Structure 1
């Protein structure tokens, strides 16, 4: 007989069905399942996690500002999802390889991104945005869910090579409705690939609420594929770290894939091309503001006497410095000439490509005549 699964009725119930270690008011919550995975985390590490989230939020705000000022074509905000991204990314081993979607600014930050790496792709400049080999993070993926297949393919290679690595892929709740994600889970389970699936359930797939796509917890789908899963409060950075450590240990031990659903919230728009006021109620946003992941950890740290006003000010100053470097890197980028898009397509001369170059040159010259 199948177990009874309770449908999600409202936000409060949604959160109560999630594992957590730090409550929204900052108090520490004992959790027999998660506690063993964060037994080594001391106050200094908690302060580092707090700093990471503050810096990430500042990077995100700068990205939005740069787009609004015409310096970027687009930006995908991650405000509200800092705990999920920082908590899981800080649990990774250096050799692990990440396959992100387009919103994982915090993941590339945690993996050592340079100031220009945050904006290069969104500005439309040459390159993948960052060096995948240096960060061990694949290029940001715009096609919804496609990165999950890439992660499983890479994980199959890990298994074939016998390497001490785990592939990790991030995606949103909306992506779980895509065939790619489900196909990736089938392959991962069938071949026991060392891959961790991280679903950031931020409650909105552009303008579609998660309740329309899934009336039951998304983590409940994974066991149907033979993949163990864990559902955590995605605004609790400590719970997110513990969940990722659990999943990584499972995959690294040769037990196959693992799945995490982090229940969080997208505070801003889907992208800077979106207007969430057209579909989202202000009361819902206010409710989630009271569960802010940064404020939660700050309350916890102040409660245990590990965060002062002086330290908090130093963190804000450091965050501003990172944003300043990011802006300078963005404004200092030199865009290649338009015809350079044809360079390096083929190793040898190609008649078809030359014809296209000439046609594009003629097209561009038309604008010059108009000017």
Structure 2
């Protein structure tokens, strides 16, 4: 049944890196620099991701959520947004955060457990990563509602995984968006699993996109490993939202190459044949790289030069993050409650007696 549904999804670049007839117009509308930017961002994000896994294994950052395999979904969607738009991410949108303008060193600080990693620079409308599943979706809807009431052309986008569609927050957000015709995009990166639970065990419907029908707005299913298709679908959804035509649910069908987080072991629940199919035959970066080379837009020398540049930038960001002024241990009690409860006050006092420093407030 799923193979039949796949025929209805949007795909412009085949897994072999061949530009399909349906994608010719979208491809021709891009400048050479825009075409290359897709490659640069995807390869940069992949190198960042692989380096982050190594840092976690070395004990230099905390538990980390890898995104390798989902680069096209994040790059294609984020590059379509404007600086004025609001972004509400989950915990796996490091690529989206980079494109939005979050400094790389601060992204590393977030994974080091530092609150500085949650605060974007002035003018960057990026909310902190949301770890509780689906809670960011109603927040995005609220921002979109505010924009509509203020008669702004600003839109909001919520990023989430397929597991979030099993939460009430998702359905409440869809219902509210549909009723009020809000300028919001609900962007689901369906990587097939909510940690270890396959999508088939989460939903009786075979796709996420079809859920939009119940709320009377469009649901679009796109090949999430095809950066060109994702970019074009996102552009269309943004145009709808800005012109008062309401929300869109986008299901970007993709796959995380690794485990859910560095604390997970995906080999315990994913068939090896399935992993091999996605990793070896549907890789988003390899697919797009083949297309660029076929079009004469990328050479091996350019590819290596960019890889070296990425490494240099990542090295510098790690150095900046690790050289940040250490925070006092009592910082554990900051940004949790406006006023500490008696229990937290007692814990803080015990920490102070052991040499910790009192946190502000």
Alignment TM-score > 0.5, same fold:
yes
Could you tell me which residue of structure 2 aligns to residue 4 of structure 1? none
Could you tell me which residue of structure 2 aligns to residue 105 of structure 1? 94
Could you tell me which residue of structure 2 aligns to residue 240 of structure 1? 230
CA–CA distance in structure 2, aligned partners of residues 299 and 68 of structure 1: 32
- Work out which of the residue numbers 147, 159, 173 in structure 2 matches 1:184: 173
- Work out which of the residue numbers 64, 82, 92 in structure 2 matches 1:93: 82
Could you tell me which residue of structure 2 aligns to residue 24 of structure 1? 15
Q: Is the 1:77–1:103 Cα contact (8 Å) retained in structure 2?
A: yes
Could you tell me which residue of structure 1 aligns to residue 271 of structure 2? 281
Secondary structure of the residue aligned to 1:197 is strand
Q: 1:291 to 1:316 in 2, by over 3 A?
A: same
Q: Is the 1:77–1:271 Cα contact (8 Å) retained in structure 2?
A: yes
Q: After superposition, where does 1:172-251 map in structure 2 within 5 Å?
A: 172-214=161-203, 215-251=205-241
CA–CA distance in structure 2, aligned partners of residues 324 and 242 of structure 1: 33
- Work out which of the residue numbers 350, 355, 360 in structure 2 matches 1:362: 350
1:324 matched to 2:315? The reply is: yes
Farther-moved stretch of structure 1 (211-220 vs 129-138): 129-138
Structure 1 spans left out of the alignment, 5+ residues: 1-6
Q: 1:274 to 1:165 in 2, by over 3 A?
A: same
- Which digits, 9 at most, give the CA deviation of each residue in 1:166-217, with x for residues without a partner? 1011100111111000100001111111000101001111001112223512
CA–CA distance in structure 1, aligned partners of residues 77 and 62 of structure 2: 28
CA–CA distance in structure 1, aligned partners of residues 335 and 219 of structure 2: 44
Structure 2 spans left out of the alignment, 5+ residues: 357-361
Secondary structure of the residue aligned to 1:232 is strand
Secondary structure of the residue aligned to 1:135 is coil
CA–CA distance in structure 2, aligned partners of residues 198 and 277 of structure 1: 27
Shift of 1:128: 4.8
Could you tell me which residue of structure 1 aligns to residue 133 of structure 2? 144
TM-score by length of 2: 0.91
Q: 1:319 to 1:343 in 2, by over 3 A?
A: closer
Shift of 1:61: 1.0
Shift of 1:43: 3.1
Shift of 1:333: 2.5
1:260 matched to 2:253? The reply is: no
Shift of 1:242: 0.2
1:58 matched to 2:43? The reply is: no
Secondary structure of the residue aligned to 1:98 is strand
Q: 1:317 to 1:218 in 2, by over 3 A?
A: same
Q: How many residues align?
A: 354
Shift of 1:135: 2.1
Shift of 1:276: 0.5
Could you tell me which residue of structure 1 aligns to residue 124 of structure 2? 135
Larger RCO (CA under 8 A, 6+ residues apart): 1
CA RMSD, Structure 1 to Structure 2 (Å): 2.3
- Which digits, 9 at most, give the CA deviation of each residue in 1:20-75, with x for residues without a partner? 111111111122xx666555213331111101000000111111111111121211
Q: 1:345 to 1:298 in 2, by over 3 A?
A: closer
Secondary structure of the residue aligned to 2:50 is helix
Secondary structure of the residue aligned to 1:150 is helix
Secondary structure of the residue aligned to 1:184 is helix
